Structure 1
Amino acid sequence: MTSAFEDGYTPLPKGKLATVVTWLEMTSPPSVAPPDWPEGITFQKVAPPAPAEYRMLFRAIGQNLLWVSRLKMSDETLAATLSHPEVELFHLLRDGVPIGLVELNFCAPGECELAFFGLVEGETGRGLGKPMMGAALAAAWARPVSKVWLHTCHFDHPSALAFYQRMGFRPVEIRVEVLDDPRLSGLLPREAAPQVPLID
């Protein structure tokens, strides 16, 4: 297939962002030890929360990673997405308070998309990511699927790509996404993601 891109720099209009997105997948369950949770930490499947409650955790995890897709949805669309019978939601809790989110999407036959996976700021780097991913993969492979996949971009945590590969995912495709800067529209505060230049 001929690439639509030429080597070199491509300028973007003001107000636009570009990110390199990597698709990763696994086609068989990995050998992952059962989670060994620290005291006070639990991982549980949850009923679809109200849109405002979902967005609160979504923002707490993803604001500085420029997670924006669910912020652009109407309450009705988000509620329908979360309550879809082929979507499963899990929270990681510390003393009953949500600190992590896992969202699995089984809408494509024979596949599971790990649609969202993350911890709130302040909980990263504390050894929770590996057991949380192990629990997420156990839930994904509990269904009759032949592939579990996700995508990550360079706005993500610097260790994210290597972490996913250590957990058994392999990169299979790279795409470039161009999007409106959500900090200019007010979906996210202007001070979000200080590592990404804001140009207006």
Structure 2
Amino acid sequence: MSLTDKAWKIFNESINDYHVKDDVNASLNNPYPADSLDHLLYRKNWIDTVQWHLEDIIRDPEIDPTEALSIKRWIDRSNQERTDTVEYIDSWFLNQYKEVTPAADAKINTESPAWAIDRFSILSLKVYHMKEEAGRSDASAEHQKKSQEKLAVLEEQKVDLGTAIEELIADLESGNKKMKVYKQMKMYNDEDFNPVLYKK
């Protein structure tokens, strides 16, 4: 099984596990060994899935402002956790290819494998929820038709993005591309760099 096929399977396992309770407060119960890539993939998608639903909740026009602020802070923490997990995945790839000597003319990809996998995880959520919309019995035929059309585009994107990730991995394995990772260095969460925080 290719890495992207495995990732897609794990992402959908995470999404389906979440929807057993369909509750943003549900506990993460990762079924994979803590030192494995599978564990990181499941964790990554679980974070994305919870955040997907938080983003839905916060858009309720009737939401209490205090609750909205609490959820916004939750989303901020989730974004940091997401970034940290992507960097853990990249560390796994760096370790995986540490013995590969890049070719003299090896190129650098525009994004690391883990950030491409990040987009793949979000895509799995788009596919899942667009399928729901396409099959909604309480929606109009026009809504179902538009959702089906969008789903077809998302399925095409899945193939294209999956192919691009597999090609990147093959290039890293062969040394045709070299992996270089830059930490995100987000400043707004850090009290040493966010002036609103350090001027308090």
Normalised-by-shorter TM-score class: under 0.3
Which structure: larger Rg?
Answer: 2
Give 1 or 2: higher strand fraction: 1
> What is the TM-score normalised by the length of structure 1?
0.27
Question: Higher RCO, 1 or 2 (CA under 8 Å, sep at least 6)?
Answer: 1
